[in-house]
């Protein structure tokens, strides 16, 4: 179907489907990274349970990737060998991801700090258990 003949509803359904597929794929990849990190840290008796961030990051990154795709960023080398557009798009998407994560950094640092203080207060309150501090 031609791009000009598609209705608004068809475009919205197509974009939503594309967003959900990207989000699901990124969620699976990020979840595997979180599980791997949990296993590595568990070997050293360090608790790690931030599995929810995989979903949040997947949804945010999929949104950013769709916006970058609609802006046709990295489409300059379409006729070049496949390695050039692949490397350029990877670089552009990496930059966009880093820039989009900058406003979230202070909130994540606050969350991690508040979680750490709650954990240290809880461990300090347990009789017979030494405090980390």
CB atoms within 10 A of CB 57: 20
**pLDDT less than 50: residues of the chain:** 125-126, 129, 131-133
Residue 6: which residues within 8 A CB-CB, separation 6 or more? 14
- pLDDT value at position 91? 87
In this structure, are 60 and 15 located in the same domain?
yes
**Residue whose pair of structure tokens reads 């990274």 in the numeric block:** 33
In this structure, are 41 and 8 located in the same domain?
yes
**pLDDT tens for each residue of 94-127:** 888 788 777 766 666 666 666 556 555 555 544 5
In this structure, are 13 and 50 located in the same domain?
yes
CA 69/CA 75 separation, integer angstroms: 9
Q: Are 97 and 62 in contact (CB under 8 A)?
A: no
In this structure, are 124 and 97 located in the same domain?
yes
- pLDDT value at position 133? 43
In this structure, are 105 and 83 located in the same domain?
yes
Domain boundary, last residue among 71, 89, 111? 71
In this structure, are 52 and 111 located in the same domain?
no
In this structure, are 8 and 63 located in the same domain?
yes
The residue range of the domain holding 103 is 75-133
Domain count, the chain: 2
């Amino acid at each position: 179907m031609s791009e000009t003949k598609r209705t608004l509803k068809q475009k919205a359904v197509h974009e939503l489907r594309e967003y959900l597929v990207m989000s699901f794929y990124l969620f699976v990849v990020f979840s595997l990274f979180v599980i791997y990190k949990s296993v590595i840290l568990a070997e050293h008796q360090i608790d790690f349970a931030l599995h929810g961030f995989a979903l949040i990051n997947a949804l945010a990154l999929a949104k950013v990737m769709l916006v970058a795709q609609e802006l046709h960023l990295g489409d300059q080398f379409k006729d070049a060998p496949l390695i050039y557009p692949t490397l350029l798009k990877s670089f552009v998407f990496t930059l966009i991801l880093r820039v989009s994560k900058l406003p979230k950094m202070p909130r994540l640092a606050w969350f991690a700090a508040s979680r750490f203080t709650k954990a240290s207060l809880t461990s300090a309150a347990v009789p017979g258990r030494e405090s980390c501090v």
